Amino acid sequence: MKTTVGTHKIPGYGATLRTTKRLADQAVRIVNRAVPGNMPDVDIILTNPRGMAELGTAADAELAGVLDKRTRERTERAALKQARDVAGRAIPRANGSALVLINIDQHATPGDMAVTLVHELVHCMQFSRKNVVEHIVRDVRDAFRIERQSRRQAREHERLVEQDEREAYGKEYLANQLIPGAAA
């Protein structure tokens, strides 16, 4: 399990990058002990909303096997609208690793960063569980209009996403071990 932290199109955030690297190493160890599953290799990228839409769409396209540029651009425009309100996003990759995108505009303090890191790393642990990545791939392929999923499959995916989100929110208290008072 290897963790890398970097930035994408945000110059001048050296202190935030160093803080995130320090927090990420500790958060990976804490989440790995507290959540069932196996931690994959994780790439953590600090970026702005535009970068989140760009990198997130590229990762989804790689996962779904999309090569059509027009489809990717349409999806990226839709993702940009949502990226402004999102603090972070975890995406499985085709090679078995995970990509964590963090919107730096949503993180005013290291405590906010710690909570988001723990939340997204819990999602990374969930990717190692049985059939989770297959459900995500099926949903992404449906979003790119490559392969339609049935209504039942869509409802099942929504139910699983809600269940995974509840688990991730439930584990945010682990951020208190990184920075006391972070999850309060």
Identify which of 9, 140, 6 has the alpha carbon closest to the alpha carbon of residue 75: 140
The whole-angstrom separation of Cα 122 and Cα 52 is 19
Integer Cα distance of 131 and 133 in angstroms: 6
> pLDDT tens digits, residue range 59-93?
999 999 888 888 888 889 989 989 989 999 999 99
| Paired strand residues for 102 | 46, 88
Tokens representing 65 are 């096997």
Closest by Cα among 50, 49, 59, 111 to 90: 59
Give the model confidence (pLDDT) of 110-135 as tens digits.
999 999 999 999 999 999 999 999 99
Residue 42 CB partners (closer than 8 Å, separation 6+)? 1, 2, 3, 4, 24, 28, 97, 98, 99, 100, 121, 124
1 — pLDDT class (breaks 50, 70, 90): confident
In this prediction the pTM is 0.95
